[in-house]
Amino acid sequence: MKMEKIISTDFLVIGSGIAGLTFAIEVAKYGTVAIVTKKDDAESNTNYAQGGIASVLSSEDSFESHINDTLNAGDGLCNRDAVKIMVEEGPNNIKKLIELGVNFTRDKNKKLHLGREGGHSRNRIVHAKDLTGREVEQVLLSTVKNHPNIEIYENHIAIDIITEHHLIGGFDYSLDDIHCWGAYVLDIERGEVIRFSSKVTLLSTGGVGQVYLHTSNPKIATGDGIAMAFRAGGKIANVEFMQFHPTTLYLPDSDSFLISEAIRGAGAELLTVEKKEFMKKYDKRGSLAPRDIVARAIDRELKKSGSSYVYLDVRRIGKKRIIEEFPHIYNKCLSYKIDITEELVPVVPAAHYMCGGVKTDLWGRTSIHQLYACGEVACTGVHGANRLASNSLLEALVFSRRASLRAVEEAKSIRRIPSAPEWNAEGTFNQEEWVLISHDRAEIQRLMWDYVGVVRSNLRLKRAERRIELIAKEVEDFYKKTRVTEKLIELRNIATSALLIIKSALRRKESRGLHYNSDYPFKDDKKWKKDNIIINKSGRISYC
């Protein structure tokens, strides 16, 4: 008889971006850590982050200025305490990265080169040319791989977290008092489900970009953490606020490539297909307006012209500076036969960053005991209705370190990890039925892009709701009667995340930040200046 594989650890980290790796490094001082990651260890949204990390590092800047810029971008929904924590703890976190070996770009005087992006009133973006995320990720990974207390499990995908829903013997089940004791995880290469048993679990699974047809996110961004937390009864907040990056390279029939906002901060300008500047008629800041304003403006111009893209004029920056400061963007565009030093660049908005997520407190704790969430998967209150550029990596750094402090204390108090049942692997994979089900992913992405995109309406949202509810049920029924695979797990999570976004968007009857509903074109502070929280009650979506 084949024995089930069980891995016991003090801390389980699901995801290997900047939040997960930072948390792992900190808690590894006090116990064993297992990191579960779907692909190779470096694949994450962090690795794709070009722009940089916003932080107050200049005498010409101030905490209050950074706080106010963040609050303004968040359009009334930011938690000021969370923003204050992030901003004030930011510089020390940058210092720690430098001590670990992160090589940030410096000016001719050897001082950190600070860029500026949309919505910022000062130059405060520390960066490693135009591949900041990759530089940070590689340094953190090197630190993790050299730590004796940390084990990385590549090509492993979490199926569900283990809670009272699964436990056997002696535990009362209550929707208001749920604990996490690890996760069921699929070893993708072996096709085996492993029980990871842990005192504390961190969700750092990144975003939900793959819910949409056009996205700047990697293939792994399938909303896994949000979907798992929701199924377990955790609170999910503000997922109607999906940020669409205004400028991704327009490439028909291929993945979107992000053109960093830093390039507009350096002087690039948006033009119509007739090569006319248009942003100043929408916002006095022109091409440096916050992302939601720029994305909606582009969307409106595309609808007016019937074109599939607008232009970004990068030539204004100058050839020497473009090649020196944005080598990755320059070379990537060259690989598509576009010389951005001489040609206009066709761009279009694409799904980029989820500002909502699993609801946490100021220490990264979710509404499920012993379950933490950090990074894009979490809703800490920092981003409100719209994320300020380059605050994402900063938030991940600050709150993952804060989470590690509470997680260590919580782990010390746990004497016994309850036993969870073996994974039920009954059933066989129905290849014929899967051929039909697998098309659901493309259908969800098209529905979300067409009806739940930059501009929404009640009609569009309700149409998407009806169709995706049917798809989600179809996927769940197939999931329950067949053995799990990576693609099936991802499809299930995409369907769940898409439905949560739609339900949240339908509930918020106003337009604010990234959520624009043409049936409610104005803000309603009296009714909706608050978080939009949803929860799973006995298998049904309920509102808090």
Query: pLDDT per residue over 446-495, tens digit each?
Result: 999 989 999 999 999 999 999 999 999 999 999 999 999 999 999 999 99
pLDDT of 535 strictly over 90: yes
- Asked if residue 221 lies in contact with residue 210, where contact means CB atoms within 8 angstroms, the answer is yes
313 phi/psi in degrees, rounded to 5: -95, 100
| Residues whose CB falls within 8 Å of the CB of residue 459, separated by 6 or more in sequence, listed in order | none
Q: Which residues of 341-351 are buried (b: 16+ CB within 10 A; e: fewer)?
A: beebbbbbbbb
pLDDT at 44: 47
pLDDT at 170: 47
pLDDT at 168: 56
Confidence of residue 45 (pLDDT cuts 50, 70, 90): very low
Query: pLDDT per residue over 505-531, tens digit each?
Result: 999 999 999 999 999 999 999 999 999
Residue (of 1, 4, 51) closest to 421 by Cα position: 4
pLDDT at 12: 98
pLDDT at 523: 97
Confidence of residue 123 (pLDDT cuts 50, 70, 90): very high
Q: What is the pTM of this model?
A: 0.90
pLDDT of 185 strictly over 60: yes
- What are the structural domains, with CATH classification, of the chain? 1-50+131-241+355-415+427-544 (3.50.50.60), 246-350 (3.90.700.10)
pLDDT at 42: 47
Q: How long, in residues, is the chain?
A: 544
Confidence of residue 293 (pLDDT cuts 50, 70, 90): confident
CA–CA dist 329, 262 (Å, integer)? 11
Task: Assess whether 291 carries a catalytic annotation.
Answer: yes
Mean pLDDT of 303-331: 92
Phi/psi region, residue 52 (left: phi>0; alpha: psi -120 to 50; beta: rest), is: left
Nearest 5°: the CA angle 399, 405, 411 is: 125
pLDDT at 422: 87
The proportion of the chain whose per-residue pLDDT surpasses 70, expressed as a percent, equals: 95
Query: pLDDT per residue over 103-120, tens digit each?
Result: 898 888 889 999 888 789
Minimum mean pLDDT range among 198-212, 269-283, 421-435:
421-435
Joined tokens for residue 454: 């930059």
Mean pLDDT of 387-415: 95
CA–CA dist 446, 452 (Å, integer)? 10
Catalytic residue from among 195, 291, 402, 512:
291
CA–CA dist 506, 516 (Å, integer)? 11
The proportion of the chain whose per-residue pLDDT surpasses 90, expressed as a percent, equals: 72
Residue (of 436, 520, 460, 401) closest to 22 by Cα position: 401
Residue (of 42, 8, 5, 10) closest to 145 by Cα position: 42
